[in-house]
Structures are given as C-alpha cells and as structure tokens.
C-alpha cells in the first residue's frame, strides 16, 4: 500500500516539474521578458533549494514529523503559486516564485528520506518507486506541448496550480509511519560533512547540476529558434524521460553488478557527451533525439546513484538533512549557478558555446568522481 502512496506523490510532483521546467520560460517570454531576465527568474527556482530544503530538513529530523512537513509545505506551495494570477511584473513574479518554490522545494527531500527508510535494506528498489515521477513528467511534458501550440502559453499557470493542488492531496495519503525515522546517531553532522567522500560527492552534484542550467532554462527556446514546434519539443523532452524510466528499472541490477563509483563515472561522462551533441547538432533531429536518450545517464543514473550514496553516508537522524543538503547543493546551488550563468552566456557568447561550456563543467565532475569516489558499492 505504501508503495502506491509514495509513488503517487512522485507522480504528481514530477508532473508539475514536467510543466514547469520545459514551458515556464515560454510563459515568461510571452510576457515580454528577455533571455537575461528569464535566466534570473529561473535561477530563483533553483536558489530557494539552497536554503529551503535544509531548513525543513532540520525541523523534520528534530520533530520526527517528516510527512507533516511534506503536507504543510505542499499546501503552502499551492497557495503561494496562486499569486501568479495577481500580477505579471518582473518583481512581483520574482516574489511569487521565491515564495512558492521555498515551500515546494522543501517537500521532495523529506519524501526521498521517507522512501529510503521505508525500503530499509532494499534501498536498491528506490528507482522502482521513483520511476512513477518520470511517468508523471512524461504525461505533462508530452500532453502540454500540443495544448500550448493551440491555446498559447497563457494556459500554463492554471495547469500548474491544478498540479500543485494534486501534490498536496497526494501527500495526505502518505502515513507518518512510512517515514520510520530510525535510531539517533552520535556522530555530529559537521564530522560527516568533513569526510572526503562527502565533499567529493557534493562537489560532483554541484557541477553536474550546474551543467544542466542551460538545458533546464533554455533548451525549449533553443529548439524553437531552430524551427522545432512546441509539440515536437515536448516529445523530445518526453523521450529523455522515457530513457530515464528505463535506467530506473535497471538500477537494482546495475548497482549490484557495477557499484556506485563506476556508475557515477559513466553518468558524468554521458552528461558531457549529451551537451556536446546539443551544441554541435541542433538542426539534426535524429542526433538531438539521441542526445535526449542520454538523459538516462545525465539524470537517471546520476540521481539514483547520488540518492544511494547520500543514504549510506547520512544515517539515523541525519537522513533528512542529508537528502536536503543533496537537494540544496545540486539542484539548489548548482542549478541556480547554471541557470543564472546560462542567461549571461547566451547574451555574451551565444547558445552553442553555452552548451559547450556545460560539457566542460560536467567533465570537471567526471574528474572529481574519478579521484574522489572510492570503494563504494
């Protein structure tokens, strides 16, 4: 029963992401914002992950009410997002995006910790639950493309509000007992954070997500500039997540056979190849499609291995903050840095060099993984 309850939350959470990430920049452009302003506003969504998840993770670890935190954060995110209907100015939207994303970004790390604790010794099965998030992403990213082609980007806020509400409703079905907070540990958190393995892992997470900044912020606009329709762009986004589902289904066997270190090396290498292909072959739809299948490595493989390592390195009462720090350092600091820089890089150098620099950043992550991740399975 908890399998389906947890899976339902992932389904709606990432369905929301499937509407927000590919199409929010189109909505902002329809309001008249330029690429620099779009990059800045998108960076806000990422930047709130630097602080929000850790604050809520600390509360959850010390109160033992992890699911209550998820429910409250989900409700407040929906209420805050409703503010987009009250104004369209830059500063108003910056305020609304800061408010709703502060709460929205708080819920997922606590759900991740809940899922891993619920699985107990079977943590390799995490990807079988998480894949339902990918299904939700596909449903919205593929379904919204034709709708936005027909009705325009102005439809997006209403769709997003409905999805935020669905996240909150799905959180009500997850019982607090699924969290199983575990026994306290005596080792101080600062000592855990000082381990070379932890430092290396979080450095990799930062770099990998920073390299995704141009993709999450401008991939849709990038393809539109080369003549792709929103329907075909939605299908390309969906293709990437189909590949992600495939890797999630294989993860239990891959982790057992190859171990976390080798999989992380493969993931970072494929990430560099993906950005290189997008930079060099934007007019070749087959090659862009092939690059999208590498999402299986650049996100699916990378994310599943990272969640596995964070769960092993942060134990007991540190689990909630461990997952929160993973979100803060990678999707928060890394994502914000990548999104903000991508706007300025597009303006200064152009979109193709922007993606080439993303490939260089992910190569740096490969180097850190090679030297810093040792002996983990």
pLDDT given for residue 39 in this prediction: 84
Other Cβ atoms within 10 Å of 53 Cβ, number? 31
Three-class DSSP labels, 55-98: HHHHHHHHHCCHHHHHHHHHHHHHHHHHHHHHCCCHHHHHHHHH
What pLDDT is stored for residue 78 in this prediction?
A: 95
Domains of the chain (ranges, CATH numbers): 2-372 (1.20.1250.20)
Residue 6 phi, psi (nearest 5): -65, -45
Its pTM stands at: 0.76
Rounded Cα gap, residues 215 and 355, in angstroms: 8
pLDDT of residue 75: 95
Which spans in the chain are helix H?
2-30, 35-63, 66-81, 90-119, 126-151, 156-171, 189-193, 196-211, 213-225, 230-258, 260-280, 285-293, 295, 302-313, 319-327, 335-348, 351-372
Q: Counting beta carbons within 10 angstroms of the beta carbon of residue 316, is it exposed (0 to 12), middle (13 to 18) or buried (19 or more)?
A: middle
Q: What is the pLDDT of residue 142?
A: 85
C-alpha to C-alpha distance for 241 and 121, rounded to whole angstroms? 27
Per-residue model confidence as pLDDT tens for the chain (377 residues): 577 788 889 999 999 988 998 889 889 989 999 988 988 888 888 788 777 777 777 777 777 788 888 899 999 999 999 999 999 999 999 999 999 988 988 788 888 878 877 776 676 677 788 889 889 988 998 888 889 888 888 999 999 999 999 999 999 988 766 555 455 555 777 888 888 999 999 999 999 999 999 998 899 999 999 999 988 998 999 899 889 888 988 888 898 889 999 999 999 999 999 999 999 999 999 999 999 999 999 989 999 899 889 888 887 767 777 877 888 888 888 988 998 899 899 989 999 999 999 999 999 999 999 998 876 54
């Amino acid at each position: 029963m908890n399998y389906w309850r947890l899976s339902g939350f992932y389904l709606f959470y990432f369905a929301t992401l499937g509407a927000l990430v590919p199409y929010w920049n189109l909505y902002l452009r329809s309001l008249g914002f330029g690429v620099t302003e779009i990059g800045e506003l998108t960076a806000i969504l990422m930047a709130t992950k630097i602080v929000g998840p850790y604050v809520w993770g600390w509360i959850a670890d010390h109160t033992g009410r992890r699911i209550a935190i998820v429910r409250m954060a989900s409700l407040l995110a929906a209420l805050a997002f409703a503010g987009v209907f009250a104004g369209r100015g830059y500063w108003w939207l910056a305020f609304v995006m800061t408010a709703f994303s502060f709460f929205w970004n708080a819920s997922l790390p606590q759900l991740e910790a809940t899922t891993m604790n619920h699985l107990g010794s079977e943590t390799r099965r995490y990807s079988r639950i998480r894949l339902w998030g990918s299904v939700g992403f596909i449903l919205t990213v593929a379904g919204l493309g034709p709708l936005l082609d027909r009705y325009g980007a102005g439809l997006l806020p209403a769709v997003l509000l409905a999805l935020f509400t669905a996240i909150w409703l799905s959180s009500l079905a997850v019982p607090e007992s699924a969290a199983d907070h575990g026994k306290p540990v005596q080792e101080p958190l600062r000592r855990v954070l000082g381990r070379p393995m932890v430092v290396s892992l979080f450095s990799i997470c930062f770099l990998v997500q920073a390299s995704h900044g141009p993709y999450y912020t401008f991939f849709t606009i990038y393809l539109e500039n080369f003549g792709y329709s929103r329907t075909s762009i939605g299908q390309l986004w969906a293709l990437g997540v189909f590949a992600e589902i495939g890797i999630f289904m294989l993860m239990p066997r891959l982790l057992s056979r190859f171990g976390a270190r080798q999989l992380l090396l493969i993931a970072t290498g494929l990430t560099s190849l993906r950005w290189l292909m997008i930079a060099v072959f934007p007019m070749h739809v087959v090659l862009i499609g092939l690059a999208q299948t590498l999402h299986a490595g650049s996100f699916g493989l990378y994310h599943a291995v990272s969640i596995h390592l964070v769960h092993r390195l942060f134990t007991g009462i540190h689990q909630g903050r461990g997952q929160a720090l993973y979100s803060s350092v990678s999707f928060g600091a890394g994502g914000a840095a990548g999104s903000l820089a991508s706007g300025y890089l597009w303006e200064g150098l152009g979109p193709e060099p922007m993606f080439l620099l993303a490939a260089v950043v992910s190569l740096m992550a490969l180097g850190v993984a090679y030297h810093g991740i040792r002996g983990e399975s």
